Homo-oligomer: A and B are copies of this chain.
Amino acid sequence: MTLDFYKKNKKILLAVDCIIFGFNKEELEILLIQRDFEPEKGKWSLMGGFVEEKESPSESAQRVLKSLTGLDDIYMEQFAVFGNPDREPQERVVSLCYFALINTEILSTDYKAKWFKLDKCPPLIFDHNEMVVEAHNKLKKKAALYPILFELLSDKFTIPQITLLYEAVYENQLDKRNFTRKLLASKLLIKLNEKDKENSKKGAYYYKVDKTVYKEKIISFLNFLPGWYEE
């Protein structure tokens, strides 16, 4: 009886798919690959892979991410399961969806992945376009409460850069004065004695994240974006 219980149940191919967000200083982007195998060879796709024998799903997601970007230690979160029996034509696959936030500057370019602006995402295989939409929605909700968007920026960044980032994620204009005030009130940022002179004549001071505060900081970020969630 012991093993019968398990044996009578069908096993399933279990995949992970990663929506990898990046920020190009102006727009939110996602990293896609062109499939080089059947089915759907040549089509654009999220990065994915199967959960292997000796790894947990989050380890699979990390492996996939590493194999495609060379990056370790990336912010990643499981946010959905796509598992309709017929979502892939060849074989039943249940997919665990993760979104990841990476700083695109760190990423070397010799991987065959390509960045696409979120609003110019090509048609993707299977239900991957739906996954992207859900990931973006989840990102908006999460980032309203937790300061995770800093994962998309370099170690040092300017206030105008953060503002552009939030405007990109929420597809909305922000009041610069109010936003800056709230940012600084969060006590999350440390002002550096150095300016970014690339993007303006006056130059904007660099800041970095106070890591000790960052770990504890949640929810206080709420209402950074007055009203975005009510629309």
Contacts and interface: CB of A to CB of B under 8 A. Distances in A.
A117 to B, nearest CB: 27
- Looking at chain A's contact residues, the main secondary structure is loop
Interface stretch (A4-12, A26-34, A102-110, A203-211): A4-12
Contacts of A5: 37-38
A184 to B, nearest CB: 19
A91 to B, nearest CB: 5
A78 interface: yes
A96 interface: yes
A6 B85 contact: no
Nearest to A51: B12
Contacts of A84: 56
Interface string A36-69: 0111000000000011111111100000000000
Given A1-B38, A57-B81, A218-B229, A91 B52 contact: no
Given A14-B94, A51-B83, A58-B83, 4 more contacts: A11-B12, A51-B94, A81-B81, A145-B145
Interface of A: 1-3, 5-6, 9-14, 37-39, 50-58, 78, 80-81, 83-85, 90-94, 96, 144-145, 218-220, 222, 229-230
27 contacts: A1-B37, A2-B39, A3-B90, A3-B91, A6-B13, A6-B90, A10-B52, A10-B53, A11-B13, A12-B13, A12-B51, A14-B14, A51-B83, A51-B94, A53-B92, A54-B85, A55-B85, A56-B84, A56-B85, A57-B83, A57-B94, A81-B81, A81-B96, A145-B145, A219-B229, A219-B230, A220-B230
